[in-house]
Amino acid sequence: MSDHIAVDTDAVAKDGSEMNALADYVRELKSRFSSSADALGRPWGEGDAIADSFKENYLPARYGVERFFTALADAFQDTAESTVETAKRLAGADDYGKGLSDRLIGHMGGDGPTRRR
């Protein structure tokens, strides 16, 4: 087991930001899906058992796919935001730790961060 953790916070923040592109892509897929489905109109017809059966099965499935696309895009967006926030917090913790270490070394009579430990 390692006794430390190393994180490239700049890379984590960059990669987190790039996840926004996935959210945008999924939103575009949803838009294209919805537009295509709307363009079909009501191809199942009206007034007979087959039309009624198709409508009862097709519409809930279509709306389910649209809800899935929305949820997936939101999940990518939330993940992107959380990843960037995590990178910021890790960088802040690292900066705080370095500052605290430098102050402690200074109180012990050391010469700051250049002192060998």
Please name which of 50, 34, 51 lies closest in space to residue 42, comparing C-alpha atoms. 51
Q: Can you give the pTM of this predicted structure?
A: 0.71
Per-residue pLDDT tens over the stretch 31-86: 999 999 999 988 888 889 999 998 899 999 999 999 999 999 999 999 999 999 98
Residue position matching structure tokens 């916070």? 9
Average pLDDT, the chain: 87
Q: Using CA atoms, how far apart are residues 63 and 31, in angstroms rounded to an integer?
A: 13
Identify the pLDDT of residue 92. 82
Q: Give burial (CB, 10 Å; 0-12/13-18/19+) of 44.
A: middle
Question: Any idea what DSSP says for residue 46?
Answer: S
Please, are residues 76 and 22 in contact by the beta-carbon 8 Å criterion? Answer: yes
